[in-house]
Amino acid sequence: MTPTKLYLLESILLITALCCFLFFREKQEETISITEAEPGIAFNSVDPPNVSLLEYVNKLYTVEAVIRAYCPCVQCCDQFADGVTSTGTSALLPGVAVDPTVISYGTRFNIPGINQILIADDTGAAVRNSTELAIEVRFSTHQEALNWGIQRKTISIY
């Protein structure tokens, strides 16, 4: 390769690297925003609710949600009270039921008043087709679920 061709190739590579650097630096400063959840907008889609690009990459969203409580008993789960969640995990363990068309299984939640990170591992009949963001928190006993009831809280979603 001649020195002129080598110089031209190095120049093209340097310009390409500079363009990539400027493009990604500009993208880091963007803020993506949606003011409120709309029905049909998935939180696992490319439209996160009102977060910076850094938070989006880390998938940390803080949103207000309606949180219903349930337990794995027949009274709460009707014919689905078989001790197994819709993803195959034990319904005796703490977890979250979601509408999987809105929030993906495996999504993690930090909910004030519950002292652990919970994972979405079940489908919640009461949250399907909700007009607002809603989840169901699974408690081990029916009394714990009754004590929680239905609450509106600001939660973190990972």
Q: Which domain holds residue 60?
A: 51-157
Average pLDDT of span 128-147: 91
81 and 20, same structural domain? no
Give the number of other CB atoms < 10 A from CB of residue 5.
9
pLDDT at 23 over 70: no
Residue 146 lies in a domain: yes
Winning range, highest mean pLDDT, from 12-21, 35-44, 90-99, 124-133: 90-99
Tokens representing residue 61 in the block: 């969203």
What pLDDT sits at residue 125?
A: 83
**pTM (two decimals):** 0.63
Residue 46 lies in a domain: no
Distance separating alpha carbons of residues 65 and 136, to the nearest angstrom: 10
Number of domains forming the structure of the chain: 2
pLDDT at 123 over 60: yes
What pLDDT sits at residue 128?
A: 83
* Encoded amino acid at 94, one letter: P
What pLDDT sits at residue 31?
A: 35
26 — phi, psi (to 5°)?
-65, -40
Kindly report which listed range (59-68, 86-95, 131-140) carries the lowest average pLDDT score: 59-68
Q: Which of these, 73, 78, 65, lies nearest to 125 by C-alpha position?
A: 78
What pLDDT sits at residue 36?
A: 41
CA distances, 124 to each of 20, 22, 67, 94, 140 (Å): 43, 44, 11, 14, 16
71 and 24, same structural domain? no
82 and 28, same structural domain? no
pLDDT tens sequence across 24-41: 544 443 333 333 443 433
76 and 120, same structural domain? yes
Distance separating alpha carbons of residues 66 and 79, to the nearest angstrom: 24
